[in-house]
């Protein structure tokens, strides 16, 4: 369903009489105090993802004020509308379960309500993918403004920030190095300001990929949430949204092209970005009929070293990246590898954007290609009999000595099984073993939670073990680190080979060779497959959103989107 009319005439409610529909609409909107002049302006919708549960979006009201100012300075009429808001720590069972719902909300509200362009305000991990998935499907000219990263805090004189340090200190607690009182104290400093996680987590990854893809005005990805630069950038976004409303373009499909996705994926490698970036890219691309090929993604990374020295791969935080120039030094360094003809939302090509970047200056955060943080791309794609449809590992945040490793499988059949046994003194496990978590994928958990960062068994943590090879069909927070294989596909709950692994099996991981193998014969694997039975149905699986999710969700290589939302 499309409607070529503009402004308040767009998408009239179907009462069977268009004149009546417009007249009634006008009467109701006038109750908001608008003049006729205001109602004749191009309308810029602003997706409001503020929620009292979402600290990453605490500054959304200020950003919206700035966007509105920009819209009005340019002669448009800004109209905000609420959408679902997802915070990582406030969504059961996982925000990923709700990402597709948020995307459907965004798509339908953008389509249903009269707006000539839309500003997508979001930040926390799933919100930018969800908004872009929805906007891509709705087809209305759209532009992104992110909330921006939080600042860092200080704990006992040490700089800390969410959430790599959350995990680091929790690991210390589990190892008995700090006590519960210190953990409590840390909760005051790990998230010291509003904004998204201050490391190269999923939010930072998606912000930088969005800017690289051209869906955000230059310079917007890394501005901290609390800096005055943030509303300034938002004001410019509002102004640009009016031009887009007047022009009726560009639609997301004009910017989110295959070349733009490839550029974003190169940036994903170069920033040591979250493994979630590849899942979300696949989902966003799928909305436009574009396929992200995992092997092509791996190949793109072979030429792209990790340049950005941010946690969890490196040492700095997002506010440092902002001071170092944000995406600009990354683009400058990557320029020879990028597809510079790709258009951007500001109207220039990516090449023009790079040519217009301010002069480079000395900084420590973004390395040169000759002196990278990690020589390969940030993420490697694995193949083998354990993951016929692929798996990923963030090799830049793994232990180099474990990138080639063979070990004995210690299998957990579910998250509940993991929670029940991982700290048992009786668990038969050594540091050389490989921890395997089954049934934590899109169907299995459900929702593919960030449980791929399996905790180290307490008895090993107490012995000083810092990392082990871990394998699952789950995801992992971009803020986490370790030798962790994720997104194994097909997932265990769909009958993938991961479901067939048994305690004591040998597994071989070889990241340089891109291989992940279960070392049993094909005959044994087939016999186990024939005997496999699916896990019990989830409680409540017979109705509502959970039913829709389980009926329609795709596997990780397809972005775990709903099949019926993809463009065919
Ligand atoms: Fe929102 Fe990390 S919890 S970005």
* Model confidence pLDDT, tens digit, residues 435-456: 999 999 999 999 999 999 999 9
CA–CA separation, 87 and 95 (whole Å): 7
Give yes or no for residue 51 CB within 6 A of ligand 1. no
102 and 246 in a single domain? The answer is yes
| Mean pLDDT in residue range 533-561 | 97
Domain assignment of residue 67, yes or no:
yes
Domain assignment of residue 16, yes or no:
no
Ligand 1 atom having least distance to the Cα of 54: 1
Domain assignment of residue 89, yes or no:
yes
114 and 142 in a single domain? The answer is yes
Give yes or no for residue 124 CB within 6 A of ligand 1. yes
Give yes or no for residue 450 CB within 6 A of ligand 1. no
Distance 499 CA to ligand 1 centre (A): 31
Give yes or no for residue 196 CB within 6 A of ligand 1. yes
CATH code, domain carrying 400? 3.50.30.80
| Confidence band of 4 (pLDDT split at 50, 70, 90) | confident
Of 186, 207, 235, which residue constitutes the final position of a domain? 186
The alpha carbon of residue 511 and the mean position of all alpha carbons in its chain are separated, in whole angstroms, by: 23
Residue nearest to atom 1 of ligand 1 (CA): 124
| Confidence band of 3 (pLDDT split at 50, 70, 90) | low
Find, among 216, 308, 222, 313, the residue nearest to 256 by Cα.
216
Residue for token digits 């989830």?
Answer: 538
Distance 56 CA to ligand 1 centre (A): 6
407 and 430 in a single domain? The answer is yes
Question: 36: Cβ–Cβ under 8 A, 6 or more apart, which residues?
Answer: none
Distance 125 CA to ligand 1 centre (A): 6
Give yes or no for residue 201 CB within 6 A of ligand 1. yes
Distance 456 CA to ligand 1 centre (A): 23
Residue for token digits 């909300």?
Answer: 105
- To test the pocket of ligand 1, the residue of 88, 195, 210 to mutate (highest count of ligand atoms within 8 Å of its CB) is 88
Domain assignment of residue 218, yes or no:
yes
Distance 5 CA to ligand 1 centre (A): 38
* Tens of pLDDT, residues 292-336: 999 999 999 999 999 999 998 899 999 999 999 999 999 999 999
CA–CA separation, 396 and 380 (whole Å): 9
428 and 482 in a single domain? The answer is yes
162 and 134 in a single domain? The answer is no
Residue for token digits 């509200």?
Answer: 109
So what's the pLDDT on residue 1? Answer: 53
181 and 118 in a single domain? The answer is no
Percent of the chain at pLDDT > 90 equals 96
Ligand 1 atom having least distance to the Cα of 55: 1
Question: What is the domain range of residue 173?
Answer: 154-186
* Tens of pLDDT, residues 77-115: 999 999 999 999 999 999 999 999 999 999 999 999 999
| Confidence band of 478 (pLDDT split at 50, 70, 90) | confident
So what's the pLDDT on residue 449? Answer: 95
Average pLDDT, the chain: 96
- To test the pocket of ligand 1, the residue of 122, 124, 222 to mutate (highest count of ligand atoms within 8 Å of its CB) is 124
Distance 48 CA to ligand 1 centre (A): 17
Distance 203 CA to ligand 1 centre (A): 6
Residue nearest to atom 2 of ligand 1 (CA): 197
Ligand 1 atom having least distance to the Cα of 123: 4
Domain assignment of residue 64, yes or no:
yes
- To test the pocket of ligand 1, the residue of 148, 196, 273 to mutate (highest count of ligand atoms within 8 Å of its CB) is 196
Give yes or no for residue 146 CB within 6 A of ligand 1. no
Question: 369: Cβ–Cβ under 8 A, 6 or more apart, which residues?
Answer: 305, 307, 333
- How many domains does the chain divide into? 3
CA distances 91 to 126, 147, 184, 480, Å, are 11, 19, 22, 19
Structural tokens at position 384: 């083998």
Distance 221 CA to ligand 1 centre (A): 15
415 and 486 in a single domain? The answer is yes
159 and 211 in a single domain? The answer is no
Give yes or no for residue 142 CB within 6 A of ligand 1. no
- To test the pocket of ligand 1, the residue of 54, 87, 210 to mutate (highest count of ligand atoms within 8 Å of its CB) is 87
Domain assignment of residue 287, yes or no:
yes
Structural tokens at position 18: 């268009």
| Mean pLDDT in residue range 51-71 | 98
- DSSP reduced 3-state for 222: coil
Give yes or no for residue 204 CB within 6 A of ligand 1. no
Give yes or no for residue 478 CB within 6 A of ligand 1. no
Ligand 1 atom having least distance to the Cα of 163: 2
Ligand 1 atom having least distance to the Cα of 202: 4
- To test the pocket of ligand 1, the residue of 56, 122, 192 to mutate (highest count of ligand atoms within 8 Å of its CB) is 56
Domain assignment of residue 558, yes or no:
yes
Distance 249 CA to ligand 1 centre (A): 31
Of 162, 186, 210, which residue constitutes the final position of a domain? 186
Exposure string of 364-380, with b = 16+ CB inside 10 Å and e = fewer, is ebbbeeeebbbebbbbb
336 and 262 in a single domain? The answer is yes
Give yes or no for residue 197 CB within 6 A of ligand 1. yes
218 and 350 in a single domain? The answer is yes
pTM above 0.95, yes or no: yes
118 and 166 in a single domain? The answer is no
Of 322, 355, 388, which residue constitutes the final position of a domain? 355
Residue nearest to atom 3 of ligand 1 (CA): 88
Domain assignment of residue 36, yes or no:
no
Distance 115 CA to ligand 1 centre (A): 29
Ligand 1 atom having least distance to the Cα of 477: 2
Distance 167 CA to ligand 1 centre (A): 14
* Tens of pLDDT, residues 128-183: 999 999 999 999 999 999 999 999 999 999 999 998 999 999 999 988 999 999 99
Across the beta sheet with 43-48, the strand order is 77-82, 43-48, 117-122, 142-146
CA–CA separation, 318 and 161 (whole Å): 10
Give yes or no for residue 88 CB within 6 A of ligand 1. yes
- DSSP reduced 3-state for 217: coil
Say if residue 2's pLDDT is above 70. no
Whether the Cβ atoms of residue 327 and residue 222 lie closer than 8 Å to each other: yes
So what's the pLDDT on residue 376? Answer: 84
Distance 166 CA to ligand 1 centre (A): 12
171 and 203 in a single domain? The answer is no
Give yes or no for residue 501 CB within 6 A of ligand 1. no
């Amino acid at each position: 369903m499309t409607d070529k009319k503009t402004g308040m005439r767009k998408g009239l409610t179907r009462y069977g009489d268009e004149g009546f529909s417009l007249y009634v609409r006008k009467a109701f909107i006038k109750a908001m105090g608008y003049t006729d002049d205001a109602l004749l302006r191009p309308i810029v919708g602003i997706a409001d993802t503020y929620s009292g549960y979402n600290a990453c979006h605490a500054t959304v009201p200020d950003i919206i004020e700035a966007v509105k100012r920009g819209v009005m300075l340019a002669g448009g009429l800004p109209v905000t509308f609420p959408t679902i808001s997802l915070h990582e720590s406030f969504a059961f069972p996982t925000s990923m379960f709700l990402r597709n719902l948020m995307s459907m909300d965004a798509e339908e509200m953008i389509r249903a309500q009269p707006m000539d362009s839309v500003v997508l305000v979001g930040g926390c991990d799933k919100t930018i993918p969800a908004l872009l998935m929805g906007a891509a499907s709705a087809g209305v000219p759209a532009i992104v403004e992110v909330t921006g990263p939080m600042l860092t805090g200080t704990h006992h004189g040490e700089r800390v920030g969410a959430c790599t340090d959350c995990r680091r200190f929790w690991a210390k607690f589990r190892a008995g190095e700090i006590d519960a009182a210190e953990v409590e104290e840390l909760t005051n400093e790990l998230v010291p300001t509003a904004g998204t996680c201050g490391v190269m987590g999923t939010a930072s990854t998606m912000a930088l990929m969005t800017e690289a893809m051209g869906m955000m005005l230059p310079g917007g990805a890394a501005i901290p949430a609390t800096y005055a630069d943030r509303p300034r950038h938002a004001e410019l976004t509002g102004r640009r949204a009016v031009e887009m409303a007047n022009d009726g373009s560009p639609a997301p499909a004009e910017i989110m092209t295959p070349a733009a996705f490839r550029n974003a994926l190169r940036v994903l490698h170069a920033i040591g970005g979250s493994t979630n970036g590849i899942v979300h890219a696949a989902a966003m691309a799928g909305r436009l009929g574009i396929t992200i090929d995992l092997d092509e993604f791996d190949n793109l990374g072979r030429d792209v070293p990790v340049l950005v020295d941010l946690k969890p791969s490196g040492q700095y935080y997002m506010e440092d990246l902002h001071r170092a120039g944000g995406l600009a030094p990354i683009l400058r360094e990557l320029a020879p590898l990028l597809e510079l003809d790709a258009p951007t939302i500001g109207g220039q090509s990516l090449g023009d954007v790079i040519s217009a970047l301010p002069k480079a200056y000395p900084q420590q955060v973004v390395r040169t290609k000759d002196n990278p943080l990690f020589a390969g791309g940030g993420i490697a794609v694995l193949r083998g009999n354990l993951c016929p449809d692929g798996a990923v590992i963030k090799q830049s945040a793994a232990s180099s000595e474990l990138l080639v490793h063979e070990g004995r499988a210690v299998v957990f059949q579910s998250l509940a099984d993991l929670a029940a046994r991982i700290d048992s003194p009786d668990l038969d496990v050594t540091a050389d073993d490989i921890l395997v978590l089954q049934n934590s994928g899109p169907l299995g958990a459900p929702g593919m939670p960030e449980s791929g960062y399996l905790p180290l068994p307490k008895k090993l943590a107490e012995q000083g073990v810092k990392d082990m090879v871990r394998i699952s069909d789950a995801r992992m927070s971009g803020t986490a680190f370790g030798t962790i294989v994720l997104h194994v596909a097909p997932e265990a709950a769909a009958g993938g080979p991961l479901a067939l692994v048994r305690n004591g099996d040998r597994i071989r991981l070889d990241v340089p060779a891109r291989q992940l193998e279960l070392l049993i014969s094909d005959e044994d694997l087939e016999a186990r497959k024939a005997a496999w039975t699916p896990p019990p149905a989830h409680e409540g699986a017979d109705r509502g959103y959970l039913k829709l999710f389980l009926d329609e969700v795709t596997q990780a290589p397809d972005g775990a989107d709903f099949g019926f939302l993809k463009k065919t």
